[in-house]
Amino acid sequence: MKRIFPVRWAMAILLAVGTIASYAQWMNPSYDVPAYHPSAPLKVSSLPPILSGKQLTGPNFRYPWQVHVYQKAAQVSSVLYQLPCYCRCDRELGHTSLRSCFEGLHGSECSTCAKEGAFAYEQTKQGKTPAQIRAAIERGEYQSVNLENE
């Protein structure tokens, strides 16, 4: 009977340590920032193109804002390369930055991507750096973008 008691204590301690370790990730919000590149690409031309022209038609582009967001994204391509996307497409789709969302149809289907793209365009036009825009996106400021006005 005496042997079981210390085993129970050891199991309780292991359980407590495991629980604390698993919750540690939630204590530091900057730990879970989605994928992005810390600096501009060496050559934008070496990256997959952002959809444009006739590619911006069809069932994925039923609303004007979908086309406008892609057109804006193309103008700030290297900035988008340096920004994370908070829809978490880095996990599900393997995207490496917000720019990846506009290399295919994902940016037309996801309001988070579209809002972040429009927000990045507007902030760039206001003279903000990619680091400043990234910080604003991390604070959730892109959520105030009204896509119907795009």
- pLDDT attached to residue 93: 84
Q: How many CA atoms lie within 13 A of 90 on its CB side?
A: 16
pLDDT band at residue 17 using 50, 70 and 90 as cut-offs: low
Position 10 pLDDT exceeds 80: no
Cβ 144 vs Cβ 116: under 8 Å: no
- pLDDT attached to residue 9: 64
pLDDT tens digits, one per residue of 85-135: 888 887 788 788 899 999 999 999 999 999 999 999 999 999 999 999 999
Asked which of 2-11, 66-75, 100-109 is least confident by mean pLDDT, the reply is 2-11
- Burial (CB count <10 Å: 0-12, 13-18, 19+), residue 119: buried
- The string of DSSP codes covering the chain is -TTHHHHHHHHHHHHHHHHHHHHHHHH-GGGGPPP--SS--S-GGGSPPPP-GGGG-SGGG-SHHHHHHHHHHHHTHHHHTTS--TT-HHHHT---SGGGGGSSSHHHH-HHHHHHHHHHHHHHHTT--HHHHHHHHHTTGGGG--GGG-
pLDDT tens digits, one per residue of 35-58: 888 888 888 788 899 999 999 999
Q: Which residue has the higher pLDDT, 7 or 144?
A: 144
Cβ 70 vs Cβ 52: under 8 Å: yes
What tokens were used for 77? 């391509």
pLDDT band at residue 12 using 50, 70 and 90 as cut-offs: low
Helices 64-75 and 111-125 meet at what angle, rounded to 10? 50
- pLDDT attached to residue 42: 85
Query: What residue ranges do the domains of the chain occupy?
Result: 1-32, 34-149
> What pTM did the predictor assign?
0.77
Position 15 pLDDT exceeds 70: no
